[in-house]
Amino acid sequence: MSPRPVLQALASPTAAPTLPHYLPQADECTLFAQAHAAQLPLLLKGPTGCGKTRLVEHMAARLGRPLITVSGHDDLGAADLTGRHLIQGGDTRWVDGPLARAVRAGAIFYLDEVVEARKDITVVLHPLADDRRVLPLERHGELLPAAPGFMLVLSYNPGYQHLLKGLKPSTRQRFVALTLGCPSPELEARIVQSEGGCTPAVAARLVHLAQALRRLTEQDLEETASTRLLVMAARLTGQGLSLQRAAQVAVMEALSDDAQTLAALQELLHAVL
């Protein structure tokens, strides 16, 4: 059987000149493309810095769709996404919010850290996420159908979650969900090398450090070392900083503010690097 068109389109990832670089952990690129082709929304789960945003940027370019990204925060409400009336020179004028712009343009709309946002956003996300594919602009009196190519992508970090901040089952059950974890050591070393512009040896040592840090229990650290932190350390070594100092300022200092914890991390760093 010949590959389906969506998979054929993915066969030449180098086709777009400005393709953001992404090294897949598993089948997430194919799955993303299939969800897009099937007009299904996607929920990306995973710790901070594991590549969720980069995956979305990469796939938007590969699928040839514009990308509109909004970061969730505790003051982000439905009107920030849909739009509002603005008064200009005595007249009121409707101005689309980022979600309305994405829906009209058939763009990929990426809402990062969705659980941080206010609960009223579900009112606008639900009719877009199920087979209605419409955005109610109540204040504007418009029911906006999603243009072909529109896709809703949400992400969140299950590690940060507590009871009050989870996603409701009624929201979860509208989405195809994909978990991105930490990449395998081999893959992570390739990512750190290419993103951080360092030698394979430096990348391997940073990944080795990250693995030691990840073996610490959850009680020891709120969040563990992400690929993002390793990339930052690798970039600093390219500026002439020693590997140990780079790891200290880019990795260890990001993990804790507590002096005792930092001293323990420093010992670990000396033992490992």
Alpha helices in 38-177 (DSSP H): 52-62, 78-82, 98-105, 121-129, 169-172
**Position 22 contacts ligand ADP (CB under 6 A):** yes
**Site for ligand ADP contains 110 (CB under 6 A):** no
Q: What is the DSSP letter of 251?
A: I
Whole-number Cα distances in Å, 9 to 58, 119, 228: 14, 37, 29
Using Cβ positions, the residue closest to ligand ADP within the complex turns out to be 51
Closest of 71, 56, 50, 58 to residue 230, by C-alpha:
50
d(CA 236, CA 30): 34
| Interface pick for ligand ADP out of 228, 251, 252, 269 (rule CB under 6 A) | 228
Both tokens of residue 21?
């670089």
Q: How many C-alpha atoms does 160 have within 13 Å on its Cβ side?
A: 13
Return the axis-axis angle of helices 259-272 and 200-214, rounded to nearest 10°. Answer: 130
The span of 18-26, 86-94, 143-151, 199-207 binding ligand ADP (CB under 6 A) equals: 18-26
Size of the site for ligand ADP (CB under 6 A): 16
Cβ 169 to ligand ADP shortest distance, Å: 24
Nearer to ligand ADP, 159 or 166 (CB): 159
Residue closer to ligand ADP by CB (options 41, 49) is 49
Q: Tell me how far apart the 2 most distant CA atoms of the chain are, in Å.
A: 68
- Helix (H) or strand (E) holding 88, with range, is strand 83-88
Q: Do the Cβ atoms of 103 and 146 come closer than 8 Å?
A: yes
Residue closer to ligand ADP (CB basis): 46 or 98: 46
Q: Considering only residues 41 through 60, tell me which ones interact with ligand ADP, judged by CB under 6 A.
A: 46, 48-54
Stretch that binds ligand ADP, among 16-24, 63-71, 81-89, 162-170 (CB under 6 A): 16-24
The C-alpha atoms of residue 172 and residue 182 are separated, in whole angstroms, by 22
- Stretch in the footprint of ligand ADP (CB under 6 A) among 19-27, 69-77, 165-173, 263-271: 19-27
Q: Which residue, 49 or 97, has its beta carbon nearer to ligand ADP?
A: 49
| 244: contact with ligand ADP by CB under 6 A | no
Which H or E element spans position 155? strand 151-156
Scanning residues 150 to 209, which ones bind ligand ADP (CB under 6 A)? 191, 195
Asked if 23 touches ligand ADP (CB under 6 A), the answer is yes
Minimum distance, C-beta of residue 113 to ligand ADP, in the bound complex (Å): 9
Q: Tell me if 19 sits within 8 A of 56, measured CB to CB.
A: no
Q: Work out whether the CA dihedral 24, 38, 130, 106 comes out positive or negative.
A: positive
Q: How far is the CB of 84 from ligand ADP (least distance, A)?
A: 28
Q: Is 214 in the site for ligand ADP (CB under 6 A)?
A: no
Q: How far is the CB of 57 from ligand ADP (least distance, A)?
A: 8
- For binding to ligand ADP (CB under 6 A), which residues are involved? 21-23, 46, 48-54, 191, 195, 227-228, 231
